[in-house]
């Protein structure tokens, strides 16, 4: 029996799909046959991402997940216009760099709104279609910090943990409907976000960026950083029929860097 990775006839909504890991996820899902809608704030970048996708019927949705007042109506109109969504990839830019003890309460509030509340609004918009079709895949791209907090990312560590607990709760609630909910935890991945973190660390420590990068690579057993496509491969597998009995997990894709089980 061959592994069933076929996503033909499935509709995927990929949030943060205009660049980086999100864009790679959109390409991986389209490569398996899914019709993909990429979602982000930058319309020009979204149009370019759609143009590069394999297959036909793809589209984009301009939306800001930080604007949780406008988001419900926007997503409801999108689903009514473009049809049910079978695969939801929640992916949003991380909170600013800095320790937790000096962060303003507003930073925690803003991150909670964008990540947890934004994800919940997206789920509410697509859930009826998943339930009707008895098939759904929710994949949240979060961080290895849900297993081991990352120094200098206090707000992110806190909010990512909340999203992981939200997802684990949903996995139990939605499993009876044929819907799985899983988290992918990227390690060091070549994205704009990683470059920003390295720059901040270099400035804070008074060191060269190249030294910071070399130290980071040394902490990864594979001695290299991931490419966005390698994270996307895990997302695409979890979205496929082959992963139908995988539910409620945190999957590190980090080259073995995370020390905990």
Sheet holding 136-141, edge to edge: 59-62, 35-40, 11-15, 87-90, 136-141, 179-186, 250-253
Distance CA 2, CA 255 (A): 27
Domain with CATH 3.40.50.720 in the chain: 11-187+229-252
* CA contacts within 13 A on the Cβ side of 88: 28
CATH label, 11-187+229-252, candidates 3.20.20.140, 3.40.50.300, 3.40.50.720, 2.40.30.260: 3.40.50.720
pLDDT digits (tens), the chain, 261 positions: 789 999 999 999 999 999 999 999 999 999 999 999 999 999 999 999 999 999 999 999 999 999 999 999 999 999 999 999 999 999 998 888 899 999 999 999 999 999 999 999 999 999 999 999 999 999 999 999 999 999 889 999 999 999 999 999 999 999 999 999 999 999 999 998 889 888 988 898 999 999 999 999 999 999 999 999 999 999 999 999 999 999 999 999 999 999 998
Can you point out the beta strands (E) in 118-201?
Answer: 136-141, 179-186
């Amino acid at each position: 029996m061959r592994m069933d990775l076929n996503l033909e006839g499935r509709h995927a909504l990929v949030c943060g799909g205009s660049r980086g890991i999100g864009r790679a996820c959109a390409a991986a899902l389209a490569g398996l046959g899914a019709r993909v809608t990429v979602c982000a704030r930058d319309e020009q970048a979204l149009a370019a991402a759609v143009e590069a996708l394999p297959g036909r019927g793809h589209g984009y949705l301009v939306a800001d997940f930080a604007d949780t007042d406008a988001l419900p109506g926007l997503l409801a109109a999108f689903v009514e216009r473009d049809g049910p969504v079978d695969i939801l990839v929640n992916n949003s830019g991380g909170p600013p760099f800095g320790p937790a003890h000096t962060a303003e309460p507003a930073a925690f509030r803003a991150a909670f709104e964008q990540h947890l509340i934004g994800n919940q609004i997206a789920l509410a918009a697509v859930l009826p279609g998943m339930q009707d079709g008895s098939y759904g895949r929710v994949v949240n791209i979060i961080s290895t910090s849900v297993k081991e907090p990352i120094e200098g990312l206090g707000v992110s560590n806190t909010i990512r943990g909340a999203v992981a607990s939200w997802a684990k709760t949903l996995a139990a609630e939605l499993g009876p409907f044929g819907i799985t909910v899983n988290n992918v935890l990227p390690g060091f991945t070549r994205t704009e976000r990683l470059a920003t973190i390295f720059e901040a660390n270099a400035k804070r420590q008074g060191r060269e960026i190249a030294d910071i990068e070399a130290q980071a690579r040394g902490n990864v057993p594979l001695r290299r950083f991931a490419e966005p496509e390698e994270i996307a491969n895990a997302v695409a597998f979890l979205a496929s029929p082959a992963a139908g009995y995988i539910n409620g997990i945190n999957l590190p894709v980090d080259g073995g860097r995370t020390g905990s089980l």
